[in-house]
A and B are shown apart, each in its own frame.
Chain A
Amino acid sequence: MPIWQDGAVRRPGFAILAPAGARAHGRARATGRTEGETAVARLAPALHNPADMTRRRALLLLGLAGLPAVVLAAISAGAGQVLETTNFDAVNAVSYVNAAQCAGTEPVHLEWNVQAGSTTTGTYKIYASNQQPTAATGTTTVFCAEQDVPNATPTPVVANQVDSATVSSAVQDKDVSGATIASAVQYGCDAANEGKALWICSHLFNDSGTRIAAATGKFLFQVTAPPAPVGVRASAGDSALQVNWTAGTDGATVDHYVVTATPVGSTTVAASSGRITGTSTRLRGLVNGTEYTVSVVAFSKGGNPSAAGTATGTPVQVEDFWSWYKLQGGTEQGGCASGSGGLAALAGVAALLVLRRRRK
């Protein structure tokens, strides 16, 4: 069963599209942010009005619910932008085409946002180019220079159409073949093309076939894998394994790791770390006495996985201080055996203070 770079375990036949969920939040962000701001504005004058309590609480909850949407909005395509939703580097505003996508075994999850005024019908044509888009004559909008001939030669390729989509809303998404993109820009899936730039453009054509708007995005070819982690160790914990490793050398820069534990003899992953950036983690929720194979996989920014570094470990029952105390017959029950006594003492001190003030 494959472990993906986000640490999710995907069963055959079931696709967990986390980015799609993120996109759904992203689309709602504008509304959520407005509601949140409105809620804050309404709270201030209503602070001393008990009748508004229910409404205020509802608005507060609405604002809190909208917060994740606002945060997740950062990975949604902005106006005029094309990005790859699983491998987008928001810091550098660049997406990646990785080895699996280049080979065609995984699609490129494109998302774009074309600002097209009131146009709600028409067609998007998606182009890939190894040259930076330029502004069309008489406009500030940049376009890939269309050369609507698949696999055109000679080089350099200007822009080949790789797919199309029908206009339906402001933010669009579509899975496009990475192999088609690689072919369009004439990049082979080998280390010789590592780090090369390409651009993907989504051009909006109205029903008359006139190109009226575009969104563009920069992509980097990243087809080499990071080095496999070395020195993986799985130390026994209580229903857990403490996993430590050392970063490997030679290969693509590691972006993050995903650590999983699978019972020996099984293919079902029992615990996954999700994305982590350090070189240690603790896998919890395991069964004491069961031997697990721990696998540590490094991922590059583009999502290329390394070979796995593995180790085995068996969680054991560990006596913490409380269980050690109880094991030896300790009588403490937890909670507060004389809570009223403590409170009475504090109340007594408070009473002394009050008496003192009255005497003054």
Chain B
Amino acid sequence: MRRVPLALAVSLAALAPLTARAQTSSPRWGSFELGTSSFAPNVDSAFAPIPGGPTGAGPWEQMFGIHRRWGLRVGLSKTVFDGFGALDVGLRTGYVRAGAKGFVNTAPDGQPAIWVRSGDTTYFHMIPTSAMVTYRFDWFAERFNVPLAPYGRFAFERYNWWVENGNGATKQKGATNGWSITGGVALLLDFFDPGLARELDAETGINHTYLFLDVTKTQVDDFGASRSWDLSERDVSYGAGLMFVF
């Protein structure tokens, strides 16, 4: 399976004419991206399952389950270097939410707790914000019309979060800081319709449109602070979306 993207890239590259692009484009300022990314925090890493309690490794899994949540993210970057690839500096923010029914202890007083789901829904809301530096190797895309541009990214992360109880009130709020590294590949959509791409550039100033896929490793635990929970990804976060270079 891992060979499929590689094979696709090679095939597309083979289709591309190995001639320098004579295409003219409008001046480049930076990039705008709109996409989605997964979220599955590592909150439970500091916990052991409670005897007789709901199944799950810790409070997050017991309450919200183990599956990933998908959130929206939007970012804006300024290109600070545009030569052998592009170096962008920018900010990105978004929103993700996890919700589930809370727990009620139905055991009589003095008896071991029996936890069942209540009718009240509790939510964990989060606004992840990133200050990021991205290097995108689009030299081949610019020069030889090869439609793939790999990229790497380092970011400082700040996750503003709040927990909502069943009455819709904010039970607790806070922010957790950290960092992340990302590796991804951007598919240059201009490749499939160069005429339309040039028209888009002429009319809107958008030089290129990319479809991107990436994988991010995060470490968001207030840099190891003992009084913070770990909002790092359990393994890695997956992201996808559209990026407009303008």
Tally B residues with Cβ within 8 Å of A.
Answer: 49
Taking A331-B46, A341-B177 as given, write out 20 further A-B residue pairs in contact, using a Cβ cutoff of 8 Å, ordered by the A residue number.
A236-B118, A237-B120, A238-B102, A238-B167, A317-B104, A318-B104, A318-B118, A319-B103, A320-B165, A321-B63, A321-B163, A321-B171, A324-B63, A324-B103, A332-B227, A349-B156, A352-B80, A352-B89, A353-B89, A356-B89
- Cβ contact within 8 Å between A337 and B89: no
Contact string against B for A residues 323-339, beta-carbon threshold 8 Å, 1 for contact and 0 otherwise: 11101111111111111
- Cβ contact within 8 Å between B166 and A331: no
Does A14 sit at the interface, judged by CB under 8 A?
A: no
- Cβ contact within 8 Å between A316 and B103: no
Smallest CB gap from A329: residue in B: B47
Does B18 sit at the interface, judged by CB under 8 A?
A: no
Which residues of chain B from 166 to 216 have a CB within 8 Å of any chain A CB?
A: 166-167, 171-177, 179
A197–B167 Cα distance when bound, in Å, is 45
- Cβ contact within 8 Å between A237 and B119: yes
Smallest CB gap from A242: residue in B: B119
- Cβ contact within 8 Å between A337 and B176: yes
A242–B64 Cα distance when bound, in Å, is 22
> Knowing A321-B163, A342-B158 touch, does A332 contact B120 (C-beta < 8 A)?
no
A236–B101 Cα distance when bound, in Å, is 12
- Cβ contact within 8 Å between B119 and A323: no
Main secondary structure of the interface of B (DSSP, over half): strand
Smallest CB gap from A238: residue in B: B166
Q: Which residues of B contact A318 (CB under 8 A)?
A: 102-104, 118, 120, 122, 165-166
> Knowing A318-B104, A330-B59 touch, does A237 contact B156 (C-beta < 8 A)?
no
Does B78 sit at the interface, judged by CB under 8 A?
A: yes
A76–B63 Cα distance when bound, in Å, is 52
CB < 8 Å neighbour of B59 from A236, A317, A324, A352: A324
- Cβ contact within 8 Å between A328 and B59: yes
A328–B229 Cα distance when bound, in Å, is 13
CB < 8 Å neighbour of A236 from B119, B158, B171, B223: B119
Contact string against A for B residues 108-124, beta-carbon threshold 8 Å, 1 for contact and 0 otherwise: 00000001001110111
- Cβ contact within 8 Å between B105 and A317: yes
- Cβ contact within 8 Å between A333 and B227: yes
With both chains docked as a complex, state the minimum distance between the C-beta of A318 and any C-beta of chain B, in angstroms.
Answer: 4
A284–B166 Cα distance when bound, in Å, is 10
Task: List, sorted by A's number, 21 A–B pairs whose CB atoms are closer than 8 Å.
Answer: A242-B119, A318-B120, A318-B166, A319-B102, A319-B104, A319-B115, A320-B120, A320-B164, A320-B165, A321-B102, A324-B63, A324-B102, A332-B174, A332-B229, A335-B173, A336-B177, A336-B222, A337-B174, A338-B228, A345-B179, A352-B133
Q: Which residues of B contact A342 (CB under 8 A)?
A: 156, 158, 175, 177
- Cβ contact within 8 Å between B175 and A284: no
- Cβ contact within 8 Å between A235 and B119: yes
Main secondary structure of the interface of A (DSSP, over half): mixed
With a 10 A CB-CB cut-off, give which of A238, A321, A327, A332 has the most chain B CB atoms.
A321
- Cβ contact within 8 Å between A322 and B163: yes
- Cβ contact within 8 Å between A238 and B59: no
- Cβ contact within 8 Å between B103 and A338: no
Smallest CB gap from A323: residue in B: B171
Contact string against B for A residues 263-304, beta-carbon threshold 8 Å, 1 for contact and 0 otherwise: 000000000000000000010100000000000000000000
Interface residues of B (CB under 8 A from A): 43, 46-47, 50, 58-60, 62-64, 78, 80, 89, 100, 102-105, 115, 118-120, 122-124, 131, 133, 156, 158, 163-167, 171-177, 179, 222-223, 225-229
CB < 8 Å neighbour of A337 from B63, B131, B228: B228
> Knowing A324-B59, A325-B59 touch, does A345 contact B156 (C-beta < 8 A)?
yes
Q: Which residues of A contact B120 (CB under 8 A)?
A: 237-238, 240, 242, 318, 320
Q: Which residues of B contact A324 (CB under 8 A)?
A: 59, 62-63, 102-103, 122
A341–B223 Cα distance when bound, in Å, is 9
A124–B227 Cα distance when bound, in Å, is 74
With a 10 A CB-CB cut-off, give which of B133, B164, B222 has the most chain A CB atoms.
B222
Does A239 sit at the interface, judged by CB under 8 A?
A: yes
- Cβ contact within 8 Å between A346 and B166: no
Smallest CB gap from A284: residue in B: B167
Q: Which residues of B contact A339 (CB under 8 A)?
A: 175, 177
Q: Which residues of A contact B228 (CB under 8 A)?
A: 331-333, 337-338
Q: Which residues of A contact B174 (CB under 8 A)?
A: 332-337
A319–B63 Cα distance when bound, in Å, is 10
- Cβ contact within 8 Å between A338 and B166: no
- Cβ contact within 8 Å between A337 and B167: no
Smallest CB gap from B179: residue in A: A345
